[in-house]
Structure 1
Amino acid sequence: MPLSPVSVSDEPVTPAGRLFLSPEFDTIIHCIIRGKDPINIDALKSTIASSLMLKHPRFSSLLMRDRHGREYWKRTQVDLDRHLIVINNRIESVGDSSAGEDDEEEAAVNQYVADLSVSTPLSADKPLWELHLLMVHRCAVFRIHHALGDGVSLMSILLACCRRIDDPEAPPTVITKRDSGPMGGNWWDRLCRVLMMLCFTFVFALEFTLRATWLRDRTTVISGGAGVELWPRKLATAKLSIQDMKVVKMAVHNASFNDVFSAVVSSGISRYLDHRSQNGLQKGLWITGEAMVNLRKQLMLEDLPNLIKRGNKFGVMLLPIYCHKSSGDDPLQYLKRAKKMVDCKKQSLEAAFSYKIGDLAMSWLGPKYAGFLNYRIVCNTTFTISNVIGPQEQIALAGNPVAYIRANTSSLPHALTMHMVSYAGRADIQLLVARDIIPDPGFLAKCFEDALIEMKEAALATAKT
């Protein structure tokens, strides 16, 4: 990383951005956009060159470091051709020879991205993003360093390059507003909510502290640990239906899509552990994940410059999962248990607390110690999970209709990371795994898909009675 004197116009890297630049993480976001038609490179370059993406300072700045070792952004001229990496050859995947053509194409793209996820840094002599074009597979893979922004802001800036198929002049619809929860009621109700919020926040903050020191999940066949971020990876995709998730959601009063997502993960991991464990699923097994939580008040493409201005603005919740055999039980118990747990999390300030503590630790202790504490928390938990809302309708990039949008990040000490992106009636979960620990991510993906189908059938049966 080059050294340079800081000018008045230069912008310092945010504390969260400095964390993602630390050697322990060095996190890169991969967003896969597959077109239905062959890629037109000239049209794609023209679309990107005229988009808000290149007009934003983060995408047209070099990462620099001053004489005190603090990182900052320095504006530069973008040479778009240096950011485009064109792959003309077909990527050969290792998989089931009897798989269909679409499955082979998907496996090839997943293998390419999995290989990028380990020890493939972005060059510091240009702004920290790239666009890989897999011409034979009609896929564009955006590689964007996490220091530029979080998943929500980066997804928004990518979607600003796209247009709706039913209205080519309109941007995609991804407008959602965060629900701050009910604030009405008399003074006693409000006081009780405040006291519960303080109580839950204290308990969850204490668990964060313990996770950063000595408290660790019980070891299972999907456990990672220090150094696992350097292990080779595999990538598989679990394909869920938004309509099926709606059916399950309606089966439990006031359940949310995040509750359903958590229930699917809980049930799917339970199925997988029961299959892989030599003596079956351990009784009373609890494992914990890190769930990424958006802290922005609203998501609006029209306000994109302000959306990405603050870079990374998300917190972390520790997501405990109770693993147990589902045979003979009501599959909807996973959803009821997930909703009860998530409701407690929502009543706390856990996500905001984790964001603020991380911000202060980076500012006061510096990237070395702040990175160490965060690394410890990751090593002491089992998985990472996130959910990003995509467009509701079919969209096109540079006039090419988009078949799917998927995302994942570069390797963490976890052996399992899960990133869900919704798009036009479907929700795809990218499962990035350490292949020496989880050699069969395709089977794990099927466990998630079967879990949702089982819960949907139980929900439909309940609705008939």
Structure 2
Amino acid sequence: MVCPETSSDEPLTPAGRLFLQPETDVVIHCIIRGKNPADMDAIKSAIKSSLMVQHPRFCSLLVRDKNGFEHWRKTPIDIDQHVIVVNNRLDKSGNFIDETQGSTTTEEDDEAAVNQYVADLSVSSPLSTDKPLWELHVLPAHKCAVFRIHHSLGDGISLMSMLMANCRRTDDAEALPKMVPDKKTVIKGEKGRDWFWLVGVLWWFLKIVVFTLLFSVEFVLRSLLVSDEKTAITGGDGVELWPRKLATAKFLLDDMKLVKRAVPDTTINDVLLGMVSSGFSRYLDHRTPNALHEGLRITGVAMVNIRPQPGLQDLSKLMKSNTKARWGNKFGVILIPVYYHKGSNDPLEYLKRAKATVDKKKHSLEAYFSYKIGDLVMSLLGPKVAL
């Protein structure tokens, strides 16, 4: 939508402009499952009175001035334009089921149907710029809803913080969901051994300097010059338009904790990365046996929240313009290498390698470096060069 700029328009941030480019047009999909059938009147009433529609990003149109620069412009919200109801039941292929002929579905069938519905949305249904860039698709027959939000409106931390601020506890309808408090590590020196403490601090600082320098140089080289070898999971030209399949895998948290305890000082994230590494190796062994060399690298990326406060944020603080914990896209990127190991039968080896990698990343400022570089390139050269 091309419109003359007005004094009340707010320009997009560099990250917001990046997410609106055709090559990186990113829409976040959040699936919400419920126990009871959806009450549409109650849902619409809750949205109208929620903090979400009071937030400037959720009640603003995306407009472009005559020079092509994007701005946010306040507009009245029509809830009926944003809440889309799909009354028919879907099958595993995303097609409507004729329920007059009778059919029996299981929870797994419902899950597969919703997954396919979201997979189809992600390719065939971009968000319209004729209204603020969010939608809520309600599927009453499957007792779920799909929240669609354009990434230019905010990152995962911002959006999850807003979602949690609109939820209440089942045991107390007036209370916000309780979050697990962050663990704080306090370094203390022992009496008579302060020099040990000083050596530890110096060693910690040296590791930050070395790993930051190492990973920052690697980030630049892999962004500009170095690429991974092609494998069965490498996408081709136009991969963003290929048909998609969304699959859901469930893992018991108790099982993951059991694996976590098998290797000292590991985290759940280490276990997840180990599972991904093991899964890739097994998949590539199955698809292209004897075709890949040992130690082949597959580079993934992980988004890291770089706000001063880790974890979910206080929404009232996020919505203030004069706070460091601001709303929007405030994250950096770190490169996560995953290595192919032929015929490895010990899953814990993948966990140990994942832990070693993540431990080094935690001692670097790579995420801050990538954020600053991306912000600088976007501000000075624009999204075309940044891509």
TM norm structure 2? 0.88
The one-letter code of the counterpart of 2:385 is Y
What's the CA shift for 1:74? 1.2
Structure 2 contact 332–367 (Cα < 8 Å) conserved: yes
Aligned amino acid, residue 154 of structure 1: L
Give 2:301's aligned residue: 290
Residue equivalent to 2:67: 68
- Is the counterpart of residue 306 in structure 1 residue 318 in structure 2? yes
Match of 1:48, SS state, is helix
Q: Is the 8 A contact 1:291 1:319 kept in 2?
A: yes
Deviations 1:258-298 (A, max 9, x none): 11111111112222222222436642222110111122223
Show CA shifts across 1:104-161 (max 9, x none). Answer: 1111101110011114211111110001111211111010000000012112212222
**C-alpha spacing 1:33/1:255, structure 2 compared with 1 (3 Å):** same
Q: Using the TM superposition, give the Cα deviation of residue 94 of structure 1 relative to its aligned residue in structure 2, in angstroms.
A: 3.5
Farther off after superposition, 250-259 or 16-25: 250-259
Per-residue deviation at 1:301? Answer: 5.4
Give the one of 362, 370, 387 matched to 1:354: 370
Inter-partner Cα distance in structure 2 for 1:214 and 1:353: 18
What amino acid is aligned across from residue 84 of structure 2 in structure 1? I
**Amino acid paired to 1:306:** L
1:316 to 2:315 alignment: no
Q: Give 1:448's aligned residue.
A: none
1:315–1:354 CA contact under 8 A, matched in 2: yes
Deviation at 1:29, TM superposition (A): 0.2
Which deviates more from structure 2 when the two are superposed, residues 62-71 or residues 146-155? 62-71
Q: In the alignment, is the contact (CA less than 8 A) between 2:158 and 2:313 conserved in 1?
A: no
Structure 2 residue matching 1:324: 3-state secondary structure: coil
Structure 1 residues 10, 127: CA separation in 2 closer, same or farther (over 3 Å shift)?
Answer: same
Unaligned 5+ segments in structure 1 are 373-465
State whether structure 2 residue 13 is matched by structure 1 residue 14: yes
Residue aligned with 2:251, SS: strand
Equivalent residue runs for 1:38-437 within 5 Å: 38-94=37-93, 101-174=106-179, 176-177=181-182, 186-279=197-290, 282-296=293-307, 297-300=309-312, 302-306=314-318, 309-325=326-342, 327-329=344-346, 331-370=347-386, 372=387
Distance 1:223 1:134, change over 3 A: same
Structure with the higher strand share, 1 or 2: 1
Return closer, same or farther for 1:179/1:335 CA change in 2, 3 Å cut-off. farther
Q: By how many angstroms is 1:213 displaced?
A: 2.1
Alignment CA distance shift 1:78-1:239 (3 Å): same
> In 2 relative to 1, CA 221–264 (structure 1 residues): closer, same or farther, beyond 3 Å?
same
Identify if the C-alpha distance between structure 1 residues 230 and 179 changes in structure 2 by more than 3 Å, giving closer, same or farther: farther
In structure 2, give the amino acid aligned to 1:111.
Answer: Q
The structure with the larger Rg is: 2
Equivalent pair of 1:287/1:322 in contact (CA under 8 Å): yes
Superposed CA RMSD:
2.3
Identity within the alignment, %: 59
Q: How many residue pairs get matched?
A: 366
Residue 3 of structure 2 is aligned to residue 3 of structure 1: yes
Q: Which structure 2 residue ranges, 5 or more long, are not aligned?
A: 95-103, 190-195, 320-324
Q: Give 1:75 shift.
A: 1.2
Between the aligned partners of 1:249 and 1:235, the Cα distance in structure 2 is 27
Matches of 1:207 and 1:3 in 2, distance apart? 42
Alpha carbons of structure 1 residues 198 and 180: separation in structure 2 relative to 1, 3 Å: farther
Higher relative contact order (CA 8 A, sep 6+): 1
Residue identity in the other structure for 2:330: K
Find the residue that maps to 1:142 and give its secondary structure.
Answer: strand
Name the CA distance, whole Å, in 2 between partners of 1:91 and 1:55.
Answer: 33
The change in CA–CA distance for 1:204 and 1:301 in structure 2 (over 3 A counts) is: closer
Letter of the 2:258 partner, please give it: V
Contact 2:157 2:313 in 1 (8 A): no
